[in-house]
Amino acid sequence: MSAPRIVLASQSPRRAELIGRLGLAFDTIPADLDESYMPGETPPEHAERLARDKALAIAAAHEDALVVGSDTIVVVDGDVLGKPRDRAQAVEMLTRLAGREHEVCTGIAVVQRGRVESGLERVRVRFRALDRRACEEYVATGEPMDKAGAYGIQGFGSALVEGIDGDYFAVMGLPVVRMLALFERFGWRYAFGELRRAD
């Protein structure tokens, strides 16, 4: 039996890059959802629910595929830092994160034929001390503008991060090992470049 088609329910180039690094063929079909919080929903619950909702939205028209949804949020002092609306807000976010620790929550979900399997990665990220000028110089690169928390750990933003406790790839937006574990729940194991039937 041939491996199922993989569909990434995201327009994130970082998530696409990570699946591509595994050597797996996949299609990208972004999900367009209302990402508002539900009443009483915590940030980790929100990230996992959105991952499920994104995958379910695309899976409805692609039942045989393994549809992957993911959502990443940055939390500091209990506040969620989403994508900055402009450069001034990006600088304020980075100033707030500078010299301290914050949490990144990335939800991951896989859907096939109506079945949903999901999980969550929580990562502690520590920024080095930064003055306002450094924050402004980073924002001037344009890199932070489409990223939760106004930084990308894999790009210029790597110069901001002093250390992490947890899954680096979850901070990029796709917890790779957890995704592969979810594939196994559907009977498919990763064999370095392809999916094979789990024994």
Nearest to 135 by CA among 177, 169, 175, 87: 87
Given a contact cutoff of 8 angstroms between Cβ atoms, the answer to whether 109 and 51 are in contact is yes
* 71 is an active site residue: yes
Nearest to 10 by CA among 123, 124, 164, 172: 172
Q: Which of 32, 34, 53, 71 is catalytic?
A: 71
**64-93 burial code (b ≥16 CB/10 A, e <16):** ebbbbbbbbbbbbeeebbeebeeeebbbbb
What is Dmax (Cα atoms) for the chain?
57
Nearest to 74 by CA among 105, 38, 52: 105
CA distance 196 to 191: 6
Q: Tell me if residue 102 falls in helix, strand or coil.
A: strand
The catalytic residue positions are 71
